[in-house]
Amino acid sequence: MKAIIFIGTNKSGSSREAIKAAEALGYFTVVFTNNEKQLQQRKEYTEVHEMIFVDTNNLSEMRKEIKKLQLKGKAIKTIVSFIDSNVYRASILCDEFCRNNTSSKAIEMMEDKEKTRIALKNQPYSPKFYIIKPGEEFSFELIKKKLDFPVVVKSPKSTGSKDVLLSENIESLEKQTLKLQEKNPEETIIIEEYIDGDQYLVEALVHKNKIHIAGIIEQEITQGKRFIITGYGVLKDVPKNIKTGIEEVLQSIVSKFELKNGALHLELRHTKNGWKLIEINPRISGGAMNKIIQAAFGYSLVEETLKLHLGESPSITPKCKNYVFTQYIIVSKKGILEKVTGKGRARKLPGVVDVYVKPRKGAKLIPPLSMGHRYAYVIAKGSTMEEAKDIAKRAANEIKFHLQEE
């Protein structure tokens, strides 16, 4: 029986939709998870044919489980992950047990922000940066001479805005750096210039060295303790200057990383000095991204990504073209969720494509420290970007989280 193994999944979003797509394509779906809650809620994962509890950080443990599956007669066609830190591990296992149609080396570089920055340091789109190795002696005064404030302090393994901190001056730089060193003493710290400008997300697939842009999306950022992206506007028709600039950056990255086949997304800022790369990840964005692309262009990006992994030709030719805006909802104070109201009213607004609320009654909600603390979203389409944005924001305003203070 033809099978696909997924290393980890979230309860919703791109990673879960990829498993549903695999089932629809006729594959036996296996999920390796280290999340006990998912085993407790096993019945809710109807598209998962086999769920195996295993330490997804431990390659040798996963190898044992793969061999067991093979002994049961499962023909493993690919091993993939749509979850941050598991993409490289899945690729290593795919090298061993299947024909890997992507590049583990490129994935490893994209997954590690330090390796990305070093590989691209001489490119015009690379921001200025400074790297502090674990246990290394360094001078904040020297950093001040090399970089202008404000700066961003981050961990190279950071995902979803976790461990990404803004420092406005040398005092806050010292505080943020020491905070990260205490939290992750064995990890490098990256300090880089803060880039001002409009931020764009670029979803892409590379097939046989050819780049296929799946979507260019304007992002709205809410800046509190972290940089949290709360708005996504898909550009139906991309202005030529934006498209050309993004294609040049993508081409350079794909060439530098020697990426023949694979999925990736970039976050870029458009500045007065041209495009600047904020980060790269070797997968589709999580959360609502697959649904956003589907609402805008009519195809499933996770399904086409799976085809790429399976050695088939992906097709991301738009079946339609819509202006789509997605509004995420966060909370401004912490508390225990008593109830959520307004979902029905939000869904009834003309133009609303999807409404999703993540937390259940009794969950503890907090102001966002990472992208994982976005608690709901509304996807809407309109005849213009302004209309799509207006509908999404009006619908989002209908949704209220009623919290009990702790």
pLDDT digits (tens, 9 = 90+) for 321-359: 999 999 999 998 989 999 999 999 999 999 999 999 999
In this predicted structure, which of 55-59, 163-167, 313-317, 339-343 has the lowest mean pLDDT?
Answer: 163-167
Structure tokens at 311: 């050695």
pTM confidence score: 0.91
Write the CATH number of the domain with boundaries 112-123+198-318: 3.30.470.20
Burial class (CB in 10 A: 0-12, 13-18, 19+), 262: buried
Contacts of 11 (CB under 8 A, 6+ apart): 38, 41, 44, 358
Q: Which CATH superfamily is domain 128-193 in?
A: ATP-grasp fold, A domain (3.30.1490.20)
Could you tell me the residue ranges of all domains in the chain?
A: 2-100, 112-123+198-318, 128-193, 322-406
Main-chain dihedrals φ then ψ at residue 107, nearest 5 degrees: -65, -45
Classify domain 322-406 by CATH number.
3.30.470.20
Beta strands in 39-175 (DSSP E): 50-53, 75-80, 129-132, 151-154, 164-167
Mean pLDDT confidence for 147-168: 77
Mean of the per-residue pLDDT values of the chain: 91
Whether residue 161 is predicted with pLDDT greater than 60 in this model: the reply is no
Q: Is the pLDDT of residue 234 over 90?
A: yes
Residue 157: pLDDT over 80: no
Q: What is the pLDDT of residues 116-125, one digit of tens each?
A: 999 999 999 9
pLDDT, position 159: 61
What is the third-level CATH fold of 2-100? Rossmann fold (3.40.50)
Q: Which one has a higher pLDDT value, 183 or 331?
A: 331
User: Same CATH fold, 322-406 and 112-123+198-318?
Assistant: yes
Across 54-68, 159-173, 305-319, 389-403, least confident range: 159-173
